Structure 1
Amino acid sequence: MRWWRRRWVWWTAGIVLALVVLLLWPTTAVAIYYTASNARSARQTAEAALRPVDHNEAVQRRTHELTEQGQVTDRFTAAVARLGETSPAVRLGGVHALAGIADDAPAMRQTCINVLCAYLRLPYTPDPGSLDNDQQTAMTTEEREAHERRRAEFRGRCEVRYTIIRLIGNHLRLPVGDPRSWQGHDFDFTGVIFDGGDLHGACFTAGTISFARATFTDGFDFRSASFLWWPGRLRRRDVLRRPG
């Protein structure tokens, strides 16, 4: 009878367990359902809360980019306006401002280079020279003063032009990997008179380079300048033969 009693105990326990499961199952199922539903609602709420944040961040980034672009445009406009001033000091400020923009904003670099090269291509009045005693005696005071003004204007133009050439040379001597290097860009020196400044060691890579009808004086420093599309080191007479 012991085995029967033991079997009866197991049956009783099984029946009790089944009754407990039947009684508790609806409550458990409801709890599981509401737990999953709450978790889903919480996730949806969090996602909905993050969407405006992401949108706001995107708007802020775009606003910041537009602000920076506007600032660069304003700087560029002001720098170009300075190049048209009569004062050499103001024009020099415009030249350095354009070089600074080219360094800070690579997207504007070629445009700044184009403006600087265009300034070099402007008509260039030769040096009126100094007056000897006979010439000074033959001139009136007004004529002598006008002559001195022309000489001062010429020296001012020279200083601006030589500064542009030096800045171009400085940036072309920087290696390609340097973020401020101007290698690989276009340079149009058509008809430019190179009577001062410094392009020694400048390296022209890729881009379109034109020295058509350019004039070089004996004092111009073009030592060791090179073009990667030209075999070997470039000599000055090779530059002068470079097709436009």
Structure 2
Amino acid sequence: MAISLRRRPAPRGRYTPNLWPVWLVAPLVLVLALLVSWGIYQYAYDYFAQAAAEQKPAKQVNVNEVLKATVTALTLTGAVLAGLYAYRKQLLSEGDAHRADASQLADRYTTAAEQLGHEQAAVRLAGVYALARLADDWEEQRQVCIDVLCAYLRMPYDPDPAAPEHRAGEREVRWTIISVIREHLRAPDSPTSWCTYSLDFTGATFDGGDFSHSHFRGTVSFVGATFSSGTVSFVGATFSGNVVNFDHATFSGATVDFVAVTFSGMIGFFGATFGGGSVSFDQATFSGDWVSFRRATFSGGTVSFWAARFGGGLVSFEQATLSGATVDFGEATFSGGTEFVWGPLPRPTVA
């Protein structure tokens, strides 16, 4: 019966080295040791026999010399095998250490997640900071920790303190999450940077928050997000991922500052609603393949593109609706073969 020498596949999530079973390795090593010993003895015997035959007159083979050479070679071989055994033990020790680290990190994750679900705002705040520290320490699961923080912002939230579903201190918790995310987006070269990770704020409600001078280099989604009140700042931020998605977002009373923001890639405000408050794209740079405000609704408030720079690609306001909002393109510049599809908005002067 044939015996497969393939090593057992290591289960996913295990840190133990993928080793052959001992019951198979032990007899194979014994047989191999005997074969090696016999081979070394035969080689040494032949060597000494040839040397003895070449002498004048020919001499008998000195078996003691053969045995000494064999023992010396086996000793060296044993030293090599001892080194391999020590290496194997080191692998096992490292596996144990990795398992201990993973267990500790998993316990920290569980504790932080439980804190985020606590009724008291102070405990939830502690959970935010604990999860952020865990993300810094646990690179393999950093995206998971980020996803949990983003998911918290996506949960139903009524900023009105008089609302039945409003929880005391909830605004401070949410602003803290935004602050923690921002601090991890300001230093792209930091080993604990979150700049290249995915950030999903789909359907989230923002009643304030500061993302200023952040670097968004991964997938960023504000699809269906609501900017209802307060000030949300993206001043000086850089969106350099493939897609910047604010499709169907609602700007209904907040002051949202995209001042001096740099957009590259594909920028989408498809179907967005500008129904109040102030949204400023002043001095922003749009350098992506396309910028889409297609089917956007401008029904109130102020939207300013003062001194914004559009460089290349397609700028589309096709089927946009203008009914009561003030839209300003004063001193905006367009260059680099920019193409335009204008809806009812006032067409700016193209440089």
Normalising to structure 2: TM-score of the pair? 0.51
**1:214 maps onto 2:225 in alignment:** yes
**CA displacement, residues 141-200 of structure 1 (integer Å, 9 cap, x when unaligned):** xxxxxx9x988x34x10111000000111101112x311100111111112222223100
Matches within 5 A, 1:5-84: 22=57, 25-26=59-60, 29-84=62-117
More helix by share: 1
More strand by share: 2
**Secondary structure of 1:40 counterpart:** helix
**CA displacement, residues 47-95 of structure 1 (integer Å, 9 cap, x when unaligned):** 3333332221111011111111111111101100111111111111111
**1:181 maps onto 2:193 in alignment:** yes
The 1:55–1:242 alpha-carbon spacing in structure 2 relative to 1, beyond 3 Å, is farther
Q: Which segments of structure 1 move beyond 3 Å, counting only runs of 4 or more?
A: 20-23, 29-32, 229-235
Task: For CA contacts below 8 A with separation 6 or more, give which structure has more relative contact order.
Answer: 1
* Unmatched segments (≥5 aa) in structure 1: 1-19, 130-146
**Secondary structure of 2:231 counterpart:** coil
> Structure 2 CA distance, aligned partners of 1:243 and 1:110?
29
The 1:243–1:169 alpha-carbon spacing in structure 2 relative to 1, beyond 3 Å, is farther
Percent identical: 37
The 1:234–1:48 alpha-carbon spacing in structure 2 relative to 1, beyond 3 Å, is closer
- Alpha-carbon deviation of 1:226? 1.7
Cross-structure match for 1:89: 122
> Structure 2 CA distance, aligned partners of 1:209 and 1:34?
73
- Alpha-carbon deviation of 1:31? 4.7
The answer to whether the 8 Å contact 1:214/1:240 transfers is: no
Cross-structure match for 2:181: 168
Residue identity opposite 2:73 in structure 1: R
Cross-structure match for 2:204: 192
RMSD across aligned C-alpha pairs, in angstroms? 3.0
* Unmatched segments (≥5 aa) in structure 2: 1-54, 245-259, 273-351
The answer to whether the 8 Å contact 1:210/1:242 transfers is: no
The answer to whether the 8 Å contact 2:182/2:212 transfers is: yes
**Secondary structure of 1:85 counterpart:** coil
**Secondary structure of 1:201 counterpart:** coil
The answer to whether the 8 Å contact 2:208/2:230 transfers is: no
**1:241 maps onto 2:284 in alignment:** no
The answer to whether the 8 Å contact 2:112/2:128 transfers is: yes
- Alpha-carbon deviation of 1:22? 4.2
The 1:65–1:21 alpha-carbon spacing in structure 2 relative to 1, beyond 3 Å, is same
